[in-house]
Structure 1
Amino acid sequence: MKKIVAILFVGMMLLTTVGCQKKEENITYQSPREEDLITMVKTLDSKHKNLYAKISKEEFQVEVDKIKENLEKMSEAEFYYSLCHLLTLVGDAHTSIGYSQSKYSYEQGLPFAIAKFEDGWRVMILEEEYKDYLGYKVVGINDVTIDEVYEKSKTIIPHENDAWIDSNFSNTINFKEALEYLKIVQKDEDIILKLKGDDQQEIQIPLRGLTEEEIMSIPLARFEREQTPTTYVTQDIYRFLPLSNETLFIQYNSCQEDPNLSMKEFTKQVKTELEANQYKTIVIDLRYNSGGNSSVINPLLTMLKDKEVTFYTLIGPNTFSSGIMNAIDTQESLNSTLVGLQTGGNVNGYGEIKFVQMKNEPFSYTYSTKYFELIKGYDKDSLYPDIDIAQNYESYQKGLDAEVEWILANNQ
């Protein structure tokens, strides 16, 4: 009898378990969009290393509920930017969202791009008919100053410091739907980019929203420097070149192996170059390195460790994730001096991301699975250079590399 009761009890437990599983699988969502939202929130809640480090769970849920309340009214772009805002509140630049394919396939691009210099933002790309205004200072968009536009954009760019905003600002505000979501312009309102030349006269450039096909076909004018510095970023993952008889330049643009040249083979080439010359200074450029596998550079650092030379490492707003790890590696193993601007990511923070494709919407998001404490007790929001080099517009116009020029001038 006891045996029969036990069997019945186990059977009831199995039925209960199966029933619970079935109930979980048959959750009813009001819409496919709500399913994506709730699934993302559950995934982040259970799998992010520490989702509520910068915002409480209750505060986060309030924002989720706000999105749910307005789901039916939202366009696809409004839903996208609502999710951008939600993830920005997490305060982890590795936890973010983007379109699964080209953003231009879903939103209207605006034909302009800007860059930051020590005296403000200047326009670098415009339609061909407005090429005479390239290099002009950006005053604002419609009735909103560029500083206000910048502050508004911070609400939809997941970041840990302003350097990462600087790096992503231009490619955020040159979409019509982003400006509408941020209430910089009204829906379908004419968009005017306001510029100012050296004579302080204001110039108004009309911006039209363009499809992907249009943005790829219209003639665009790009700011032309008097010359392109040899140290400017290239498509090479890593490369080296002499800057003088005494200075060797090594550029490392992504933390990954070049399929056509392994890091071990590249290291041998650098070693041969060093043995054939009397270099006194080595510059390692990480300004364009936004991450990858932090261990790829190890053979190079091991080889350089015993060299009796002065090392400099270049960093900037595009230095991120494993790029920051490698900058710290050069400090610790080579006693390298950091030169440039603060990095886009932080020293101690979250990373090692996982990608998730949404079931219904054309969005994919990432979240962090680990916390990295690269420097114990470090409490700043970024890796800051030992030597801060301001980005001067006039030097840029002449085709000079400000960081490299400083190193060459101070190591004669």
Structure 2
Amino acid sequence: MKMHLTFVTFAFVLAGLTHAQQISTASRTEDLNYVVNIVAKADKFFFATLDPTQFQQAAAALTAKVPTATDAEFYVGLAQLVAMAGDMHTQIFLGTGNTPFLQFPLDLRWLDDGVFVVGAGSAYLNTLGTQIVAVEGMPVSQVVHQLGTTFAHSNDQYLHVEAESYLASQAILQALHIAPDAPTTAFTFQTLTGTQFTLQLAPRGSAGIAMLDPPLAQGPWPDYLNYGNYYTGVLSNSFFYSAPNKMLYAKYNTCEDLPGAPVSAFDAGVLAALDANPVDTLVIDFRGNGGGDEYLLFPLGLGLFERLPALVANPNFRLYLAIDKGTFSSGMYDPMAFVSGFLTNYEKLPPADTNGVFFVIGEPTSGKPVGYGDTVAFTLPGSGGTGQYSTDAVNQDNGVIPNLPSFNPDIPISTRSTDWFARFDPVMAAILARSSGPPAPPSGTAITVNAASFRTDQGVAPGSFAAVFGAFGQTPDQVLVGGVAGKIVSAAATQVNFIVPASAVPGATPISVLAGGAQLASGQFTVSAAGPGIFVLDGTNPQQPGAVENQDSTVNSTGNRAKVGSAIQIFATGYGPLDSKGSAPVRVFLGDLSAQVLYSGPAPGLPGLWQINALIPQGTPTGQLPLFLSAGNLTSNGVTIWIQ
């Protein structure tokens, strides 16, 4: 069966405000009747969970508004009417046809820590890298809740994906009475320092947007980030082989045949590359794949299962299926079919044991594993607006696919704003490190984190710098880790920086913060054998410039770049047990390129500090690149390094 979602970019116009009625009363009535009498009846699941009486009452209420509502108010109301069906595949695409909606010159991305501006028009470049926290004084969480009434959603992932576009539409915000019927709309932004500022934004045309994906950056993306999908508007399926990593990476952006590029050619090409090269790591990346026909990828899956006995004869072989909140419909169903047994059953293959070999990694999907699909597109007869509705049930009562809000990864990896603007892909970093996922997060009234990255999803190692946060009420003078005192480096009423005792044992560990022998706060965190974290020179800079020195011992920066083939010094914390030569095992990556390590171990005379000297490999792209470490199957944060 086919499942598909079209992620629509709103039409851009430079004309006046959309409060005028450009669509006639007769055309509006025609569109409303089409939804009530055609769409709601053609979709045989429309009333699966919806009370028909409730739907008719809502339709009557919208009918009463036909003569007086603005175009935006009426068509947002029509979208809300369709959304009542509760089917994410059945919806009206706002801003299409003869109802173009004014759009702010912002490109937004919903990341793990909020919704951020990743592209902006020239008049609003000061918003790049900031988080949107309010619209017209309304907290963004409330704004998004109201936006969610215009489309069905079964999880926050889908809500956030759609909000990336809807939040930038002035017409929708005005139709929902979040924004006033005025030329500009007030948005409140927040920087990484916590500073907030409010701007009155005016809508512009698409030509006004600059510095898209990623902003604040120069130079090419690392190889594994050079992909198109609904995030970038470029759909192409591609793959490449990395000999140094023995990794075959396949980016599957769309479950559709493209002109001159059928999926069958992609399937055959990946299998041919798998046969022709030694492969320890196979990655099929479904992030941003909005769907199409899931069966187009089944020949690749069939080929993999036919080769599985030979592949697992290599004890290092792993298959990673990457997903995220942009993975929907068939884009979600394909990785589910790989790991659920559905594909082998469909292809009449014997059951295969893929435990410990196949891993789903990334974020929960926006798609719901059990639902509806096989969509049919429609055009509203009055306005020319477009939409789609479902014609088939998907995975209903098949006993294989769990009925959950999302398809969840085996290895959960989130992407934060600091990752995005440092051009760092934590999912691929975890794959390259063969990570089993982040350690358990800290808990209690004393929250302990790696002092280099200040992230709760990274390791804290014995002998490393750590930071503990809390409302201590006074300046602490002692930190006990598993009952052993850590060396305090600096202390304040809300934060203590200290060195974890070298005797700390990996695992769940209690921590207490004291002053004068009295406990001020306590908690628990995970001590890991190694917990790599690279220090950041300016944590308020979205690009996260790393504590990296060039070969001449000057600080690396955009104006002082390292040369390909030269040595760099990286300053970090969290090295694990030293080997017989007194070195700390580590891998250094610039994007997906592995650098030769010249030295890795304690920085002379500086307890807790880890120094790594490495050579920038030949073939490294110039410009801004993400630098990260891998040690003990955990990865560090990603920081920016500049290459010339």
What's the TM-score bracket when you normalise by the shorter of the two chains? 0.7 to 0.9
1:193 counterpart residue number? 187
SS in 2 for 1:265: helix
Task: Tell me whether 78-87 or 156-165 shows the greater mean CA deviation.
Answer: 156-165
- Tell whether the 8 Å contact from 2:105 to 2:206 is kept in structure 1 after alignment: no
- 2:43 match: 48
Q: Any stretches of 5+ residues in structure 2 without a counterpart?
A: 1-24, 229-233, 312-316, 345-351, 436-632, 634-644
CA shift, 1:102, in A, is 6.6
Q: Are 1:169 and 2:163 counterparts?
A: yes
Letter of the structure 2 residue corresponding to residue 203 of structure 1: F
Superposed CA offset, 1:196-216 (max 9, x none) = 223322222221133xxxx13
Partner of 1:404: 428
Letter of the 1:124 partner, please give it: V
Q: Which deviates more from structure 2 when the two are superposed, residues 161-170 or residues 196-205?
A: 196-205
Shift of 1:189: 6.0
Instruction: Specify the alignment match of 2:519 in structure 1.
Output: none
| 1:315 and 2:323 matched | yes
Show structure 1 runs of 4+ deviating over 6 A. Answer: none
Residue 183 of structure 1 pairs with residue 177 of structure 2: yes
CA distance in 2, matches of 1:275, 1:326: 22
Residue 230 of structure 1 aligns with which residue? 223
Letter in 2 for 1:187: D
Structure 2 residue 108 is matched with structure 1 residue 109: no
Q: Say which structure is richer in strand.
A: 2
Deviation at 1:100, TM superposition (A): 7.9
Rounded Cα–Cα distance in structure 2 between residues aligned with 1:175 and 1:263: 34
User: Is the alpha carbon distance of 1:36 and 1:408 closer, same or farther for their aligned partners in structure 2, counting shifts above 3 Å?
Assistant: same
SS in 2 for 1:292: strand
**CA positional deviation for 1:296:** 0.8
- For 1:253-402, what aligned pairs fall within 5 Å after superposition? 253-305=253-305, 306-307=307-308, 308=311, 309-331=317-339, 332=341, 333=344, 335=354, 336-373=358-395, 376=399, 378-402=402-426
1:25 corresponds to which residue? none
What is the CA–CA distance in structure 1 between the aligned matches of 2:254 and 2:391, rounded to whole Å? 21
Task: Report deviation, 1:85.
Answer: 0.9
The residue identity in structure 2 corresponding to 1:355 is: A
Alignment of 1:122-161 (within 5 A): 122-161=116-155
The alignment's TM-score, normalised by the length of structure 1, stands at 0.85
Give secondary structure in 2 for the equivalent of 1:116: strand
**Structure 2 CA distance for aligned equivalents of residues 42 and 186 of structure 1:** 33
Equivalent pair of 1:94/1:351 in contact (CA under 8 Å):
yes
Return closer, same or farther for 1:207/1:327 CA change in 2, 3 Å cut-off: same
Aligned equivalents of 1:41 and 1:187: distance in 2? 29
**CA deviation after TM superposition for structure 1 residue 360, in Å:** 1.3
Counterpart contact for 1:100–1:357, Cα < 8 Å:
no
| Alignment partners' CA distance in 2, 1:379 and 1:272 | 36
> Which of the pair is proportionally richer in helix?
1
Q: How many residues align?
A: 378
Partner residue of 2:543?
none
Over aligned residues, Cα RMSD in angstroms? Answer: 2.2
> Deviation per CA, 1:99-128, whole angstroms, max 9, x where unpaired?
58478x622111113222222222112221
- What's the % identity of the aligned pairs? 23
1:7 corresponding residue in structure 2: none
Once residues 68 and 268 of structure 1 are traced to their aligned partners in structure 2, the CA distance between those partners, rounded to angstroms, is 53
Aligned residue identity for 1:395: D
CA contact (8 A) 1:84 1:158 kept: no
Check the 8 A contact 2:372/2:390 in 1, yes or no.
yes
Change in CA separation of 1:174 and 1:261 when aligned onto 2, cut-off 3 Å? closer
User: Which one-letter code corresponds to 1:321 in the other structure?
Assistant: S
Q: Relative to structure 1, is the Cα distance of residues 365 and 258 closer, same or farther in structure 2, using a 3 angstrom cutoff?
A: closer
How far 1:91 moved relative to its partner? 0.8
Asked if residue 240 in structure 1 is aligned to residue 262 in structure 2, the reply is no
Q: Which structure 2 residues correspond to residues 74-89 of structure 1 after superposition, within 5 A?
A: 74-89=69-84
Instruction: Say which SS state the counterpart of residue 391 (structure 2) adopts.
Output: strand
Q: Could you tell me whether the CA contact under 8 Å between 1:128 and 1:221 is conserved in 2?
A: no
CA distance in 1, matches of 2:359, 2:320: 5
Amino acid at match of 1:85: Q
Q: Which residue number corresponds to residue 24 of structure 1?
A: none
Determine which of 85, 89, 109 is the counterpart of 1:90: 85
CA contact (8 A) 2:119 2:209 kept: no
2-side partners of 1:175 and 1:189: how far apart?
A: 13
**Quick one: distance in 2 between partners of 1:344 and 1:219?**
27
TM-score normalised to the size of structure 2? 0.56
State the 1:325 CA deviation: 1.5
Mean Cα deviation higher: 56-65 or 371-380:
371-380
2:422 maps to amino acid: K
Q: Is the 8 A contact 2:106 2:209 kept in 1?
A: no
Aligned to 2:449: none
**Matches of residues 1-12 of structure 1 in structure 2 within 5 Å?**
none
